[in-house]
Homo-oligomer: A and B are copies of this chain.
Amino acid sequence: MVFLPSTTSATSTVDTGLKRSHVDFSRHLSSEARARLPNPIKSIWKAAQVKAGTINMGNGDPHHTLYPISEMNFVVPSIDEHDPVQSWRSGTGEQNIIASYKDDPCALSLRTAFAYGAGAGLQHVRDALADLNDRIHSPPNHTVSLSLGNADALTKCFRLLGDRGNSFLCEEFTFSAMTNAALPLGIEWVPVRMDKGGLVPSDLERILSNWNEVTQGKRPHVLYTIPCSQNPTGSTLSLERRQQIYQIAHDWDIIILEDDPYFFLQYDLGVDQSTIRQYGYTRAMAEVLPRSFLSMDYDGRVMRLDSFSKIVAPGMRLGWVTSNNFLAEKLDMLTDSSSQHPHGMGQAFVAELLGSDGWGVDGFMKWISSLCNEYQRRRDLFMDVFRQKVAVSGFATAEVPQSGMFVWIKINLEHHARFSTSQTPTVPGGPTTNTADLMDELFRKLLDCGLVMMPASTFAIVDRTGRTTGNHIGDRLNFFRATFVGTDETIRDGLTIFGRALEEFFCF
C-alpha cells in the first residue's frame, strides 16, 4: 500500500491499463462535510512544528508523569498452540502477556497512547492495520483510519456522504439498526432485491437506469452493502457478483460502503497447509478469503469498514476504515469534530498484539484461522440439528452459510392452513398475503416457548414514516435470522424448541 502525501485532491485519475477513470469525490460529500473547517488549534500546531525543539506552552495536555498508569497488561492465549482457540476454550493452553509501558520500551508507549491524538488514530496502529490490509486486499492508493467499530464508522460515513433528501441503496433486508441511524439525517433507503446469493446486480442496474431525478430526487450515489454473511440473510456475494456490482458502481459513480465485520469468519476455506508452512497463515488465508470490493477498487470509490468486534471482542469498540485519501481526510475531520480519536487502551493493545512481542500479524491470522474452525464446527452442528429437528417437517428450510454467524431460516408458510393470498394491497407494492400476521404469531409462539429468533420484519427496509416500502417485501417476510455462535447446548435446545413450536404452529 502506498501512503500518498496528504494533499488529498478531491479527484482521482487512475490509469490502470484496464480502464481510465476520473472521479470527482467532492460531489459525494454532504453539505455538512463540505462546510467543516480544520481545527484552528491543530492548524496553529502544524505551523509551529516546523522547528525542532520548540517549547509548547500552547496546549492543556496533562504531562505523562501525572498519568496514574505505568503499565497495562492483557492475558491472552499463546499463539504457539496447534489450535489456539480450542486450547484456550479448554483451558489447557499456554498464556501470553501483552504488555504496554509508560516508561519502558514497547511497541507503543503509554505516554503516546494516553495522550491526545489525531482522530485517525496513532500512526503506529494505522500502519500495522495498513500492513494487514495490504497483505489481504492489496488495495491501490488507500489510507487507513481507525474507528470505534463499524457502527461508529458507518454512521460517520452517512454523515460524510448524505444530505437531507438523498437516497442511498442497500440490500432489501439489512442491518436495520444502521439504516435506521441514517433516517433522522433525512436519508431515504432504496432497497435492492436479493436472492440466495445476496444482492442481485441486475436489480441494482435496473434501479439506477430507471431513476427519474425529476420525480425521485437525486440519483443514489451511495450503496451500503454487507458482502460477507450479509446481516440478516447470511449470504456471501460471489466474486462474479462483486465484479458486476463494482462495475455498476463505476458506471453510475456510486460510493460503496463495504461493511465487512464477518469477512474473517469464512468456512470450508480449504486453507493450503503447505502454504502455511512455507509462507505463514497470512498468505495462506489471503489466498482463500473472498476478494473484497476494496481489493478491486481502482477508482477509489470503496470505503471499507473492518472491525475487531467479531474476531476479538465487541466491547473493544475498535475497527478501521480504508478509503481513498480525500475521503479519509474528510472522515478524520469529522472524527476530530465528534468522537475524537479511539481510546489509547485499545490502540496500545492492538499495537502490542500485532507487534513483534505479541502475536504479530501472522499469529493474529493463525488465531482467526483457528476461530474459523471453531465457528465452522458450530455452523455444522447447527445445520445437523436443524436437519434432524426442523427441516424434516418441511415447515422450514435454510441455506448453509459460507461465512459469519447467521442462518436465514425460511418458514414455508404456504403449507399453513391459514395462509392467505387473497389480500388486496393497501399501498402499491404492499403485501398480498397474510405473511406478516402469521410470522408475528409464530414469533410470539417462539417467545412463549422460550426462544428468540429475529423476525425478518425487523430487517426489512422501512421508510421514514415507519411503513414497509413497496416491492411486495411484505410477502417475503417469512424468514427468521438465527445465529449459530452460541454454545452447543443453545444450538441443540434452541432448535429442538424451534422444531416443536413449528409443528404445533403448522398442525394445530
Chain A residues proximal to chain B, CB less than 8 Å: 31-37, 39-42, 44-45, 47-48, 51, 53-63, 65-77, 85, 88-89, 95, 112-117, 148-149, 151-152, 155-156, 176-177, 180-181, 183-185, 231, 309-310, 312-318, 336-347, 349, 367, 371, 374, 404-406, 447, 450-455, 458, 464, 466, 481-483, 485-487, 490-491, 493-494, 497-498
Contacts and interface: CB of A to CB of B under 8 A. Distances in A.
Given A36-B184, A345-B346, A493-B55, A485 B338 contact: no
B74 A95 contact: no
Nearest to A102: B75
Given A37-B183, A114-B316, A148 B71 contact: no
Q: Which 4 residue pairs across A and B have the least CB separation, nearest first?
A: A315-B344, A114-B313, A181-B337, A114-B315
A458 B405 CA distance: 50
Given A39-B177, A62-B313, A315-B344, 19 more contacts: A45-B452, A55-B451, A55-B497, A56-B490, A57-B453, A57-B483, A60-B404, A60-B406, A62-B310, A63-B487, A66-B85, A66-B89, A69-B312, A73-B73, A114-B315, A148-B148, A151-B340, A338-B339, A342-B343
Contact of A152 (B89, B338, B405, B482): B338
Most buried by B among A184, A347, A486, A490: A184
Nearest to A481: B58
Given A37-B466, A343-B345, A451 B54 contact: yes
Contacts of A44: 452, 454-455, 458
Most buried by B among A309, A314, A336, A349: A314
A181 B339 CA distance: 11
Contacts of A343: 148, 315-318, 342-343, 345-346
A55 B454 contact: no
A345 B316 contact: yes
B345 A40 contact: no
Nearest to A154: B338
Nearest to A364: B68
A177 B116 CA distance: 14
A75 B70 contact: yes
Given A40-B458, A451-B57, A486 B63 contact: yes
A215 to B, nearest CB: 23
Contacts of A95: 70
A62 B367 CA distance: 14
A66 B377 CA distance: 14
Contacts of A41: 176-177, 454, 458
A184 B339 CA distance: 16
Contacts of A155: 337-339
Given A76-B69, A337-B155, A344 B367 contact: no
Contacts of A65: 88-89
A164 to B, nearest CB: 9
Contacts of A116: 309, 314-315
A54 B39 CA distance: 50
A336 B490 CA distance: 27
A36 to B, nearest CB: 4
A452 B54 contact: yes
A348 to B, nearest CB: 8
Nearest to A484: B57
27 contacts: A37-B184, A44-B452, A44-B458, A54-B452, A55-B450, A55-B452, A55-B490, A55-B493, A57-B453, A57-B490, A58-B482, A65-B88, A66-B371, A68-B77, A69-B312, A70-B95, A72-B74, A114-B314, A116-B315, A148-B343, A151-B339, A155-B338, A155-B339, A315-B341, A316-B345, A317-B339, A317-B341
